[in-house]
Structures are given as structure tokens and as C-alpha cells.
Amino acid sequence: MPHDPTSADPVQTCELPCGFKLLQGQYQIERPLISGGFGITYLARDSLERRVVIKECFPAGICRRNGPEVEPAAAEHAKSCRNVLRAFLREAHLLARAEHPGIVGVHQVFKENQTAYIAMEFIDGLDLL
């Protein structure tokens, strides 16, 4: 369930707020779609007004948000956070090279806010899971 972005404590907010801009305004968050163990997925718009999906590396339980920045929840989680970020980037680059009609296209992979993001094609319809 999405966290209330009007919450008084910004450190406790998991999702980026609606309207938040990434990559110098190239992407604007519309709303969170789903949160999982390794990240948060958002519906967004790109600078050409296309709907896109943004996946943010946000490993649950070992990191927290401080404003827009993602940081380890505790000092002992720093190494785990770095390892998850490396794995997320590796997965993103593999996905970007994959070409198959059943795999969504990757528009961009980028780092910002002490984490990483994958901007992907948005396909409207039912979730297959």
C-alpha cells in the first residue's frame, strides 16, 4: 500500500511523491504502482508526454528514504545496499539488451538520489502475474 506522501516525517516515506521529477525533469512521477522486496515501480510521464514505467532500486528493510535520497537504514546495511544496487544495475543492463516481443523495452538506466532507476515502456493492460 502506498505511503501517505503528506506524512510529517519524510524519512519514513518509501515512495517518491506524485509530481516528483527525475533526471532533470525528463521523467515525472504520476503514482506508485507496486512495491516489492527490491524496489518500487511507478507510473510516470517522460518529457514527450509518453506514459512510462520507472523502477527504482529500493531494497525493503535495509534502506530508507531521506527526502528523495535513498540511504542504508543502518550502518550495518551499507554493504548490502551497495550489493543490491550493483545487482539492480546488472539486471537493468541485461534487460536493456534483451529483444523479445514478450519483454518490455528499456528506455534508459540512470543513477540519481543515491540509487538507480530503469525507465521502461508502459504497456496498458492486465498484469500477467
| Per-residue pLDDT tens digits for 16-65 | 999 999 999 999 999 999 998 899 999 999 999 999 999 999 999 999 99
∠ CA 70-53-105, nearest 5°, is 120
Is the pLDDT score of 128 beyond 80? Answer: no
Name the nearest CA neighbour of 20 among 120, 117, 121, 96.
117
CB neighbour list of residue 47: distance below 8 Å, 6 or more residues apart: 25, 26, 27
Query: What confidence tier does 8 reach under pLDDT thresholds 50, 70, 90?
Result: very low
Domains of the chain: 10-121 (3.30.200.20)
Report the pLDDT averaged over residues 69-78: 97
